[in-house]
Structure 1
Amino acid sequence: MNSRLTAQVSFKAHSAVPALPAGGVIGLIAPAGPAQLDLDSATQWMHARGYQLRVFPGVWEKNGYLAGSDAARAGDLHAAFADDSIDAIFCLRGGYGSPRLLDSIDFELIRRHPKPFVGYSDITALHLAITRYAGFVTFHGPMLNADLLGNKQSPTESSLLRMLSGQQPRLLSHPDEYPLSTVAPGCASGRLLGGNLSLICATIGSPFELDDQDAILFIEDVNEPLYRVDRLLTHLRLAGKLNRLRGVLVGDFAGIDLSALLQLLRQELGPLGIPVLAGWRSGHCDPNLTLPLGAHVRLDADRQQLTLEQDVVTL
């Protein structure tokens, strides 16, 4: 195991991170796949919202399906956290590549420089690792290219910026605007952890796997047919990753018929005897609402509500 991987601390409540201040500097990194960045558009987007943009070198690199070499991408991740002039870190896109970095990350460095870290999809691997070994809240939220510059509905942007600035109300859910489905009734509190289902499963058996003790598990995915979602959920069950959960929040599963997905969820998750709420608008969807991973939350599947039980940023 990488010598930089210090022993896990049992973080029952993950620490809040400093809020993104007005006029703050947002660092852009590409820890997974490559994408062409329109620098003028990105800079204008940031300036229009009162922020400054710092683009790290790996954003401009391309190595096949990766945004540069593993060393370059890990170097940008470390540099963005270590630089105290950077107030938050956004990811350019997902794709593939984040898991390749996990055993080279200096978690002690990251722990010493907490700040908002935002991304989803393949970035799930980094969320799992940072929340586990650095012990602070990270944000499952929109990425620059596909979401913030991609004309997604306004709640995508406002949800993110409210969360990072400390303006987000404790009640996160709005079922009147975005209908939810109660798969299994009940109410429970726990740490919100998870992200992309495929990435969660891919880390099982490694030092970076989901710490499921007393967790509210969040899952989402894209381009996975129903039978493969079945296989992934079965993988979680056989690996014992469902046994200690407090509840499950199901995000978007793009491309799958909702009624068929709900039937599968009832079969696989219903017997757990914990609350399960589906239809949350986070993931590869429009809007893509921000969730604070590692934060203590209350999931009420009966009232179809998700509520923060701690501050996720400090002002």
Structure 2
Amino acid sequence: MNSRLTAHVSFKAHSAVPALPAGGVIALIAPAGPAEFDFNLATQWMHARGYQLRVMAGVWEKDGYLAGSDAVRLRDLHEAFEDDSIDAIFCLRGGYGTPRLLDGIDFELLRRHPKPFVGYSDITALHLAITRYAGFVTFHGPMLNADLLGNKQPPTESSLLRMLSGQQLPVLEHPAAYPLTTLAPGCASGRLLGGNLSMICATLGTAFELDAEDIILFIEDVNEPLYRVDRLLTHMRLAGKLNRLRGVLVGDVAGVDVLALNRLLAQELGGLGIPVLAGWRSGHCDPNLTLPMGARVRLDADRQQLVLEQAVVTAKI
């Protein structure tokens, strides 16, 4: 195990991070797969919203199906956090390879320099690790290439920027065009943790696995047929994770028939005696709404609401 972990414990409460200020600097990193992107378009996008773009060096590299070597991608992550002139960190894309970085992360460095960190999919591995060992809120939200520059529906951008700037109201808005489904009734509070279901299961049995005690679990996935979703949920149950939850928020599971998915979820989760709300538009979907990982929330499956019970950002000093 990484010796840096021995001095840390799993955090039971997660602190807010400094808000993204007007005129702030947003660093772009590629901790997973490579992607070509239009630098001029990205710069224009940032400037149009009052921000400055800083592209970390490794974004321009490619190592097979990875965006640069492990050392390069880890260096960019550390430098983006350590540089106090950088106000937030966005990921270019997901893909593969993020777990390869986990046992090299200097979590003490991250704890000294907390700031908004945004991504999803393979980036789930970093959300799990940072919330567990650095103890601050991160953001399961849109990435630059596919989402913000990909012309996804307006709530994708507005949800992210409201959350990072501190303008988010306690009740998170969900577009009425995408009805939610209450699979199990009730209301519960807990830390919101999770992300991509495949990645959550990939970390089980490691020092970076999901700490499921008294959490509101968020799950989403893509390109996983129903039988594999079944296998992943069964894996979590057999690992003793499901019976420790306070509630479950199900995001988009792209490529799976919704009615069949909801039947499976009701079978796997409905007997736990906790609220389960499905259909939240977060993940590999359009729109892709931002969720604060590690933050204390209230899941009300009866009212079909998700409510923040803590500040997720604070004014930057």
TM-score range, shorter chain: over 0.9
Report the 3-state secondary structure (helix = DSSP H, G, I; strand = E; otherwise coil) of the residue aligned with 2:243: coil
Contact 1:128–1:194 (8 Å) recurs in 2: yes
Shift of residue 36 of structure 1?
A: 0.4
Structure 2: tracts of 5 or more residues without a match: none
Contact 2:94 2:123 in 1 (8 A): yes
Aligned to 1:218: 218
Letter aligned with residue 254 of structure 1:
A
User: Which residue number corresponds to residue 24 of structure 1?
Assistant: 24
Match of 2:37, as an amino acid?
A: L
Instruction: Report deviation, 1:11.
Output: 2.6
Q: Match of 1:39, as an amino acid?
A: F
CA distance in 2, matches of 1:311, 1:257: 36
Distance 1:29 1:209 in 2: 23
Output the CA distance in 2 between the equivalents of 1:75 and 1:174: 37
* 1:283 paired residue number: 283
2:209 is the counterpart of 1:209: yes
Aligned to 1:251: 251
- Residue 175 of structure 1 and its aligned partner are, at CA, apart by 6.0
CA deviation map 1:144-199 (0-9, x unaligned): 00000000000000000000000011001436343100000110000000000000
Contact 1:173 1:304 in 2 (8 A): no
Q: Paired residues, what number? A: 315
Note the alpha carbon deviations across 1:122-156, whole angstroms, 9 max, x for none.
00000000000000000000000000000000000
1:261 is matched with which residue?
A: 261
Q: Aligned partners of 1:77 and 1:155: how far apart in 2?
A: 27
Question: What is the correspondence of 1:1-315 to structure 2 with a 5 Å cutoff?
Answer: 1-174=1-174, 176-315=176-315
Deviations 1:45-84 (A, max 9, x none): 0000000000001100000000000000000000000000
C-alpha deviations, 1:244-300, integer Å up to 9, x for none? Answer: 100000000001111000000000000111000000000000000000000000000
Spell out, residue by residue over 1:7-58, the C-alpha distance to the aligned partner (whole angstroms, 9 max, x if none). Answer: 4434332100000000000000000000002100000000000000000011
Gap change, CA 1:175 and 1:270, over 3 Å in 2: farther
Supply the RMSD in Å over aligned alpha carbons.
0.8
Q: Which residue identity is paired with 2:119? A: G
- Show structure 1 runs of 5+ residues with no match: none
Amino acid at match of 2:166: G
| Overall identity of the aligned pairs, in % | 85
The one-letter code sitting in structure 2 at the alignment partner of 1:191 is: R
- The answer to whether the Cα contact below 8 Å between 2:174 and 2:281 also exists between their aligned partners in 1 is no
- Give the letter for the 2:92 counterpart: L
TM-score relative to the length of structure 2 = 0.98
How many angstroms does 1:3 deviate by? Answer: 1.3
Kept in 2, the 8 Å contact 1:298–1:309? The answer is yes
